[in-house]
Amino acid sequence: MHRRFSVLAVTTMTTVTAAVAAGCSAGSSANGNSGPAGYAKDGTFTYTIPSDPGAIDPYRNISSINEMGSLVYDPLVNVTPEGKIVSGLAERWQVDARGATFTLREGITCSDGTPLTARQVAAALTFLKDPKNQSPLYGLLVPATAFTVTADDTARTVKVTMQEPFALLLQTIGRTPIVCDKGMKNPKSLAKSSAGTGPYVLSDVVRGDHYTFTRRAGYTWGPAGVGNDAPGTPARVVVKIVPNETTAANLLLSGEVNMAAVRGADRKRLEARELKHFTLSSTLGELWFNQRDGRPGADPKVRKALITALDLDELARVSTGGQGKRAEALVANDSQPCAANNVEGLPRHDARQAAALLDQAGWTAGSKGIRGKGGKQLKVSLHYSSNEGKGNVAAAEVVSQRWKDLGVSVELVGDDLNSLNRAMFETGDFDVYWAGFKLNLPHLAVPFASGAVPPAGQNFTGIKNPSYDSLVARAARTAGEAGCKLWNDAERSLIAASDVVPVSEAEIPYFLNKGEAKTEGWLQIPIPTSLRVLR
């Protein structure tokens, strides 16, 4: 089985920060109308995403969860824009570090009309907790710590029992999207259809262009028991694939789309037109060094040299177009409970020191200015996402030039979503990746920074950091401030070893035209039942 995973949208639908509806109160609109009279009846809400994630299968393609999966798949619990955990499929729950019991609402149905049972939920979680099934949710929303799942259809309860304590059960298993039996039995069907309990059903797919979702009748189990029949609720939601931000901005201004994220140069002209928007903070740029055998990054001195050759302040400015700041952690600090500055130990920019480190590692100056060792040139393939805007591309070019100045032969490779997934989780054929994981809780970095390399695991750079492994094992069992300290110490051990470098953090603006949306700050997509179309 090939694992598909989007490093550019790795979010997990957990605790959130406050969100905004069209930049104003819930009863107001982006075009000046207010109240129910300003809402369109049975309209179409269209928003853009930069690339096609493929099949909307949350158990095999996590990027689809972030971009549109919440339209069709519900979790056991939801989170409000204010950060409060409320009901979802489960109407009540009991949870501690040893386990959780979820009691399902009555009357929940799957998209094919069949009832959702506790047994189906348990079957989905049982599938996800088995590492042999290679779901990208394993270790993210589904703890890698062993656990058992039992169900009682009569009582409508799903019970999770942990083998070892795990402090974030409600924020992980509680937020896992549930796929109904039809999709579990025939996952290939999810390429063109959906099998969930969400407020919409996938009704049309045009690859590379758009996905269309149709509103379900009788949906009453959204966040805190809301339905999908409020005034202005769209009858259809269209998710349009628009790789170019300028094109997305033009579509917004023409009224052809209702919402789009635009953070580049086009942001200013949208603001000048006074389009309402809300912003979400996210870690945008990170450097991940491939440490597998035979790669230059397997040598910690080489990793440190490459970092020391860079002016990280410059990179932060370039990658965010001057709109962001230096990242202080792998998780954007204003959207996580364990906020701390974890990058204080990073080496300062010093080109001479960088050269000295490479000399110590045996890579000395050679012909045509390229360093070599044992008759082999120092070559680095630097990959980056081509879908993350002009600033991201410019930052990758800056990194490439600084390393060339150091005497490194650099191959600069821009990847779309599919080639990014192949390089990271299939071929492993890269040396350094410039990308942003957009994590929302510190434990979400664990699969990428420890364990087996793909396809057996998700440690795509082959990091081996015993200190990190030890600290995260303790952190996973520890709640509260003590747990946060352990998580931050673990992250600092990665950064101190030059395993990964968080570089930039930016506020991503989501602009709206004739539409309203509320969003979970860490999820970075709209809450489906909050979407409204305005006249």
Residue-level pLDDT at 4: 34
pLDDT, residue 390, reads 82
Q: Strand, coil or helix: what is 261?
A: strand
Report the pLDDT value the prediction gives residue 7, as an integer from 0 to 100.
35
Task: Give whole-number Cα distances, 174 to 12, 51, 121, 400, in Å.
Answer: 11, 28, 11, 42
Q: Where are the alpha helices (DSSP H) in 296-371?
A: 300-308, 312-319, 351-360
Structure tokens at 242: 């628009």
Altogether, the residues listed in the chain come to a count of 535
Q: What pLDDT is attached to residue 523? A: 56
* The pLDDT value given to residue 33: 34
Other C-beta atoms lying within 10 Å of the C-beta of residue 59: 26
pLDDT of residue 162: 95
Residue in 264, 268, 270, 279 with CA at minimum distance from that of residue 250: 270
Question: Do the bridges between strand 210-215 and strand 200-206 make them parallel or antiparallel, or are there none, so unpaired?
Answer: antiparallel
Report CA torsion sign: 369, 374, 375, 379: negative
Q: What is the pLDDT along the chain (535 residues), one digit of tens a residue?
A: 333 333 333 333 322 222 333 333 333 333 333 345 599 999 999 999 988 887 789 998 876 676 789 999 999 999 887 778 899 999 999 999 899 999 999 999 999 999 999 999 999 999 999 989 988 888 888 988 899 999 999 999 999 999 999 888 998 899 999 999 999 999 999 888 999 999 999 999 999 999 999 999 999 999 999 999 999 999 999 999 999 999 999 999 999 999 998 987 899 899 999 999 887 777 889 999 999 999 999 999 999 999 999 999 999 999 988 888 899 999 876 656 788 899 988 999 999 999 999 999 999 998 788 999 999 999 999 999 887 778 889 999 999 999 999 999 999 999 987 888 889 988 999 999 998 877 777 888 898 999 999 988 889 999 999 999 999 999 988 887 898 899 999 999 999 999 999 999 887 889 999 999 987 755 556 799 999 999 9
Three-state SS string across 265-296, please? CHHHHHHHCCCCEEEEEEEEEEEEECCCCCCH
pLDDT score of 50: 87
Rg (CA), the chain: 23
Span 130-166, pLDDT tens digits: 989 988 888 888 988 899 999 999 999 999 999 999 8
Cα–Cα distance, 77 to 175 (Å, whole number): 6
β-strand partners of 212 = 204, 238
pLDDT score at 525: 62
Q: Which domains does the chain have, with CATH numbers?
A: 7-275+513-533 (3.40.190.10), 281-507 (3.10.105.10)
Predicted local confidence at residue 5, as pLDDT: 34
> What is the per-residue pLDDT for 15?
27
Q: Supply the pLDDT for residue 278.
A: 83
- Eight-class DSSP state of 58: T
pTM above 0.95, yes or no: no
